[in-house]
């Protein structure tokens, strides 16, 4: 054997002996002294960590470890660092067995101890607690295989840890090298866990997680979160740095510019001069000039490139470009104004008369306050387009603002100038855009405003729409009063009950009912068809009267004319596809060919005089309709059965009708009521019905069923009934009468107090129809029951 081989064999034996000594030295006994740590850093196996010992019990435990336990001791974390003398319950149960590598005494009589973490251990029992903690321990180990999942997890943790080290810049290069070379998952997990800046509770949780797979998963989650935070911090630092550099650069350039201006002798910038001249020459109220001078003086003292200077310039631009004293002249020719109103809109007499009254009054007083009109009616009756027509008739400019869904008070009254991007409210914006202080402004859908944390816009409108207050309307942005008293505000709404009472009180309510069939016919013939023909570039389009009426009755059912316009346009489009002519005529036959079968059918009335069936009249949002009420007696115990999707009010009307009929019939019919159930039904059960106006109809139907007397088929009725048999007025009279005429009803019974409503309806609409007014149920029975 060569000399080299002999030396090698000798080295192996020495190393083997040394390794066996090391293993022997690392044997961990069942009991060890325990030192509580309260610095929150935690000690993990496979790491070398320093900590400080100063408390008496900890010093004695350290001494015991050095003398009797081969430098081994247990370190555990203290739950509450503020506890000076901890008890066993103040300590976590899982800690780390460490070997003391070095002890150094410090000037303040404490000791700095450098230890190496060996194994996880759990305290099973405190053998003694005085003068130091002596614990019986159990080493925590778990057997595992190095699976592909574990290998992948190790790679992910290494990658994230390297990324974390690069972002923090707090670890030397040697740490990265050590990390990359680690192949043992247990050691890798403990190494990364020991350097993570996490709370004590999280470190203790990692210490108590024995299996390296679970520990690595938790560490990976922590690393991902920490990296995300560090990346955000890095991005913020970069932005701040760039901003500081930009600010410093701008400052240097401004200083140079200022020095250049001083050298050239520039005393006042051209912009400031122009602003002063504009204020001096402009026609502004005194308080506006005073405000403008103050703002210009502020602007002079500012750096022209500062953010505040931009805010002041914008404010002056708004202040000096509003039409403080600019107004258009009203067209006071009443005949011409009436002609324009009639040209663009059919009907709507009450609205037109109110505008003409205002124009007549303006002839006598130039300072007359403009009215605040509120047009209330169903969709499609022309409320919005009426605003533009009114502006045209008066010779004023027109602006529109939609209030539907508005939730921010600042939309009405503007923002304070302290807000970034502040602007005046939309009222002031419209006035500036129109360039006049007396336009017509339409506030659309005033009933659909909302309330939010940004304020209540309906309350903000109170000042705008109050003729006594809007003379001095102050927008939050302008901070000076603007006179809105000459603005003609027109608001529109579908319903009144959603408008706050205080706001409703400031407006003059004008209700626009739905159009009748004759009115729709005139609108379609004179307005809609010519308008569509012009838009399509057609020379002549003719609809026969029968064709227009067929479209109105069988293909549209609405209060307004919006859907009617869509259907007529559809007919014209289909006619163009069919013939491609610039001039054509549409007949009744053509309508059905182009549009298909009718969508709506005419109301059906009773074919003959019947017992227990009465024709009533109902109002719907799309106009009036005929309503058949049926009543039937069935053997029973006097119960009242109601069907037909009735609302609560209508059910109450039925109960009142039953009481009235029982009183009228007296003792003669007592047995009939006691031995029979009464069934009242309103056909079309899928359609909801409510309201008190069917009261007399139900009463007559019940009376007929109980007495066996027939009801006239050509009589219809509407009215509310009381327990005394009195008849109260109801609404929707115009729509109900037109529905009765469409159905071929010859006689209509109405409450006496509804006579004024009938007098407002054009007489030609009611030709061939007899109106009978009644105030008591006996009068109704006299007209309706067949004698």
Residue 474: CB atoms within 10 Å: 14
Residue 382, marked binder: yes
Residue 546, marked binder: no
* Nearest of 536, 537, 533, 514 to residue 525 by alpha carbon: 533
* Nearest of 708, 704, 676 to residue 777 by alpha carbon: 704
> How much is the pLDDT for 452?
64
> How much is the pLDDT for 729?
92
Cα(44)–Cα(117) distance, integer angstroms: 6
The CATH 2.30.130.40 domain(s) of the chain lie at: 22-139
Residue 36, marked binder: no
Query: CA 319 from chain center: how many Å?
Result: 33
- Which neighbouring-strand residues pair with 717? 616, 749
Q: Which long-range contacts (CB under 8 A, 24 or more apart) does 270-274 make?
A: 271/304, 272/296, 272/299, 272/300
> How much is the pLDDT for 453?
62
Residue ranges of alpha helices (H) inside 580-666 are 588-595, 648-665
Residue 381, marked binder: yes
> How much is the pLDDT for 508?
84
| Bond from prior residue into 131 cis (ω within 30 degrees of 0) | yes
Burial 303-342 (b: 16+ CB within 10 A, else e): eeeeeebebbbebbebbbebbbeeebebbeeeeebbebbe
The CATH 3.30.230.10 domain(s) of the chain lie at: 610-784
Cα(188)–Cα(204) distance, integer angstroms: 17
Residue 383, marked binder: yes
Residue 378, marked binder: yes
> How much is the pLDDT for 403?
84
Which tokens hold the place of 413? 């009254």
One-character DSSP codes across 166-224:
HHH--S-HHHHHHHHH---HHHHHHHHHHH----HHHHHHHHH--SHHHHHHHHHHHHH
Cα(194)–Cα(169) distance, integer angstroms: 17
The CATH 1.10.8.60 domain(s) of the chain lie at: 517-595
- Fold designation for 610-784: Ribosomal Protein S5; domain 2 (3.30.230)
Question: Which letter does DSSP use for residue 89 in this model?
Answer: G
- Contacting residues for 566 by C-beta, under 8 A, at least 6 apart: none
> How much is the pLDDT for 602?
62
Which tokens hold the place of 87? 């008890």
Residue count (the chain):
787
* Planar angle of CA 535, 541, 547, nearest 5 degrees: 120
Q: Mean pLDDT, 10 residues at a time, over the chain (787 residues)?
A: 48 42 63 87 86 87 87 89 87 91 86 89 88 89 84 86 81 76 84 84 86 87 86 84 79 72 55 80 86 84 76 87 87 82 79 80 74 82 83 88 81 84 88 90 85 71 82 87 88 84 85 78 87 84 87 81 87 82 81 82 74 88 80 88 88 91 84 88 78 90 90 91 92 83 86 90 80 92 86
Tell me the longest C-alpha to C-alpha distance in the chain.
147
* Exposed / middle / buried, residue 171 (Cβ in 10 Å: 0-12, 13-18, 19+): middle
- Fold designation for 334-511: Rossmann fold (3.40.50)
Cα(360)–Cα(335) distance, integer angstroms: 11
Find out whether 613 and 592 touch, Cβ atoms under 8 Å: no
- For 22-139, give the CATH class: mainly beta
CATH number of 517-595: 1.10.8.60
Active-site annotation, residues: 693, 736
The CATH 3.40.50.300 domain(s) of the chain lie at: 334-511
Which tokens hold the place of 85? 């003398």
> How much is the pLDDT for 614?
92
Find out whether 558 and 564 touch, Cβ atoms under 8 Å: yes
Residue 379, marked binder: yes
* Nearest of 165, 317, 167, 319 to residue 237 by alpha carbon: 167
Question: Which letter does DSSP use for residue 472 in this model?
Answer: G
Cα(659)–Cα(656) distance, integer angstroms: 5
Cα(100)–Cα(359) distance, integer angstroms: 104
Which tokens hold the place of 113? 């101890």
Find out whether 130 and 146 touch, Cβ atoms under 8 Å: no
Report yes or no on whether pTM surpasses 0.75: no
Residue 377, marked binder: yes
Which tokens hold the place of 108? 């303040």
Query: CA 787 from chain center: how many Å?
Result: 63
Give the 3-state DSSP-derived string for 299-354, with helices as H, strands as E and coil as C.
Answer: HHHCCCCCHHHHHHHHHHHHHHCCCCCCCCCCCCCHHHHHHHHHHHCCCCHHHHHH
* Planar angle of CA 399, 402, 408, nearest 5 degrees: 120
One-character DSSP codes across 388-446:
HHHHHHHT--EEEEE-TT---THHHH---TTSTT----HHHHHHHHHT-SS-EEEEE-G
E strand map for 658-725 = 676-681, 710-711, 715-717, 720-721
Q: What is the dihedral sign for C-alpha 525, 531, 535, 538?
A: positive
Find out whether 583 and 538 touch, Cβ atoms under 8 Å: yes
């Amino acid at each position: 054997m060569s000399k080299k081989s002999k030396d090698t064999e000798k080295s192996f034996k020495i190393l083997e002996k040394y390794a066996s000594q090391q293993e022997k030295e690392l044997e961990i006994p069942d009991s060890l002294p325990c030192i509580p740590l309260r610095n929150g850093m935690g000690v993990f196996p496979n790491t070398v960590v320093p900590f400080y010992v100063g408390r008496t019990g900890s010093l004695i435990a350290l001494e015991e470890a050095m003398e009797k336990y081969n430098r081994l001791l247990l370190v555990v974390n203290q739950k509450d660092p503020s506890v000076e003398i901890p008890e066993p319950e103040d300590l976590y149960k899982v800690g780390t067995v460490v070997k003391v590598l070095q002890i150094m005494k410090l000037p303040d009589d404490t000791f700095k101890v450098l230890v190496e973490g060996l194994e996880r251990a759990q305290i099973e029992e405190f053998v003694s607690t005085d003068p130091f903690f002596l614990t019986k321990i159990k080493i925590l180990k778990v057997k595992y295989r190095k699976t592909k999942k574990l290998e992948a997890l190790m790679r992910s943790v290494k990658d994230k840890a390297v990324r974390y080290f690069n972002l923090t810049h707090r670890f030397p290069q040697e740490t990265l090298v050590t990390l990359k070379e680690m192949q043992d998952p247990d050691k890798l997990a403990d190494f990364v866990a020991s350097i993570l800046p996490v709370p004590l509770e999280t470190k203790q949780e990692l210490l108590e997680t024995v299996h390296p797979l679970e520990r690595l998963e938790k560490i990976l989650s922590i690393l991902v979160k920490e990296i995300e935070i560090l990346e955000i911090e890095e991005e913020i630092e970069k932005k701040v740095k760039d901003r500081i550099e930009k600010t410093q650069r701008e400052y240097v350039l401004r200083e140079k510019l200022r020095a250049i201006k001083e050298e050239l002798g520039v005393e006042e910038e051209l912009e400031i001069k122009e602003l002063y001249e504009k204020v001096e020459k402009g026609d502004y109220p005194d308080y506006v000039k005073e405000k403008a001078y103050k703002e210009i003086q502020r602007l002079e003292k500012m750096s022209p490139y500062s953010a505040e200077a931009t805010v002041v310039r914008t404010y002056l631009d708004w202040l000096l470009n509003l039409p403080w004293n600019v107004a258009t002249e009203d067209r006071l020719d009443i005949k011409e104004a009436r002609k324009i109103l009639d040209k663009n809109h059919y009907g709507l007499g009450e609205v037109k008369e109110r505008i003409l009254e205002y124009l007549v009054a303006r002839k006598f007083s130039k300072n007359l306050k403009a009215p605040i009109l509120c047009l209330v009616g169903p969709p499609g009756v022309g409320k919005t387009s009426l605003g533009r027509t009114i502006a045209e008739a008066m010779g004023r400019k027109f602006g529109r603002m939609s209030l539907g869904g508005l939730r921010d008070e600042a939309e009405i009254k503007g923002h304070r100038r302290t807000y970034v991007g502040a602007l005046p409210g939309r009222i002031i914006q419209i006035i500036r855009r129109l360039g006049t202080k007396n336009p017509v402004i339409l506030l659309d859908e005033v009933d659909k405003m909302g309330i939010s944390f940004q304020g209540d816009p309906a309350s903000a409108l109170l000042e705008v729409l109050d003729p006594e207050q809007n003379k001095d309307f102050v927008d939050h942005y302008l901070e000076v009063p603007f006179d809105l008293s000459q603005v003609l505000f027109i608001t529109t709404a579908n319903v009144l009950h959603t408008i706050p009472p205080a706001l409703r009180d400031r407006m003059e309510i004008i209700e626009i009912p739905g159009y009748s069939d004759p009115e729709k016919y005139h609108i379609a013939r004179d307005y809609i068809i010519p308008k569509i023909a012009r838009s399509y570039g057609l020379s002549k389009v003719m609809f026969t009267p029968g064709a227009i009426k067929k479209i109105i009755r069988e293909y549209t059912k609405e209060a307004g004319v919006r859907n009617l316009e869509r259907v007529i346009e559809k007919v014209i489009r289909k006619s163009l596809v069919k013939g491609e002519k610039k001039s054509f005529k549409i007949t009744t036959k053509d309508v059905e060919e182009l549009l298909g079968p009718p969508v709506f059918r005419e109301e059906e009335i009773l074919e003959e005089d019947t017992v227990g069936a009465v024709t009533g009249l109902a109002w719907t949002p799309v106009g009036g309709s005929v309503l058949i009420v049926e009543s039937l007696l069935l053997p029973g115990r006097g119960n009242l059965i109601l069907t037909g999707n009735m609302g609560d009010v209508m059910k109450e009307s039925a109960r009142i009708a039953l009481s009235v009929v029982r009183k009228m019939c007296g003792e003669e019919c007592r047995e009939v009521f006691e031995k029979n159930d009464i069934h009242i039904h309103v056909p079309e059960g899928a359609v909801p019905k409510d309201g008190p106006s069917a009261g007399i109809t139900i009463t007559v139907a019940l009376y007929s069923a109980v007495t066996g007397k027939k009801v006239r088929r050509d009589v219809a009725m509407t009215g509310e009934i009381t327990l005394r048999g009195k008849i109260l007025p109801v609404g929707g009279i115009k729509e109900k009468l037109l529905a009765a005429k469409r159905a071929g009803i010859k006689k209509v019974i109405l409450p006496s107090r509804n006579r004024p409503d009938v007098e407002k309806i054009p007489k030609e609409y009611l030709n061939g129809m007899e109106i009978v007014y009644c105030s008591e149920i006996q009068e109704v029975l006299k007209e309706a029951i067949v004698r």
